Amino acid sequence: MTTTSLPPAAHTRRRGDWWIPAGLLALTFVPAAAGAARLVDLSGGRTVENARFSDLPLPIIVHILGATTFCVLGAFQFMPSFRRRRPGWHRVSGRVLVPAGIAGALSGLWMAAFSDLPVYDNVALMWLRLLFGSLMVAGLVLGLVAIRRRDIASHQRWMARSYAVAQGAGTQALVLGPMVLVVDQPGGNLKAAGMGVAWLINLLVAEWLVRRSQGRGPGRPGQSSRRVW
């Protein structure tokens, strides 16, 4: 069926869900841009400011490339009309973004566990990173296991949770950004609380959206029951 022969409701649906990847890409813009800036900075050689990363660059490079690939490709997995038009894309993209997400999370866990604590971080934040980074890896593995069993509902739930954790980087920029206006540079417990709240907000929103979508059930005959949102 061509685009022009679609009934009006289908046109609306196609146009109507671009806000999903657009919103998710906007959310990931700040951490992705910070990552690109950090890679450019590292390519310029060692400085006092970047010594923490340039002395052992592999984890931060893997982290930035893996996490950014996961967040950018993942944004399109949640767009129902795109998945209906290109069913092969979801699978091919998934085969790239799952390893990218695992690499991004494991390298983040590695830095949290073994790098010196940055000046504005504290032990509470280190534990939060270990907790949410582990949740991201576990979610990806459980999501993969679920789809291999053809358990689509569990697959959707675990992938949405993992993606929500990864997008925590974007929400953290929104939560911590305004704090800069008040306290110059948030650190210690204030920074840890802001980061933790951002991860929780994302997980709650993802849980609500995925349950609401699955609660709608398969819908009308012929309508896909495999949409996420």
Binding site for ligand HEM (CB under 6 A): 28, 31-32, 34-35, 38, 52, 63-64, 67-68, 71, 105, 108-109, 111-112, 115, 118, 129, 132-133, 136, 165-166, 169
* Closest distance of CB 90 from ligand HEM, Å: 20
* Closest distance of CB 79 from ligand HEM, Å: 19
Question: Is residue 34 packed enough to be buried (19+ CB in 10 Å), middle (13-18) or exposed (0-12)?
Answer: middle
Gap between the Cα atoms of 187 and 78, Å rounded = 34
* Closest distance of CB 68 from ligand HEM, Å: 5
Closest CA to 58 of 42, 37, 78: 42
Gap between the Cα atoms of 48 and 86, Å rounded = 48
Between 162 and 213, whose beta carbon lies closer to ligand HEM? 162
Between 112 and 192, whose beta carbon lies closer to ligand HEM? 112
Contacts 24+ apart (CB under 8 A), 139-145: 139/165, 140/98, 140/101, 140/102, 140/105, 141/102, 143/98, 144/98
- Tally the residues of the chain: 229
Between 80 and 94, whose beta carbon lies closer to ligand HEM? 94
Between 18 and 120, whose beta carbon lies closer to ligand HEM? 120
* Closest distance of CB 218 from ligand HEM, Å: 33
* Residue facing ligand HEM at closest CB distance: 108
Closest CA to 30 of 173, 144, 205: 173
Between 157 and 227, whose beta carbon lies closer to ligand HEM? 157
Helices and strands per DSSP (H, E), number in the chain: 10, 0
* Closest distance of CB 23 from ligand HEM, Å: 15
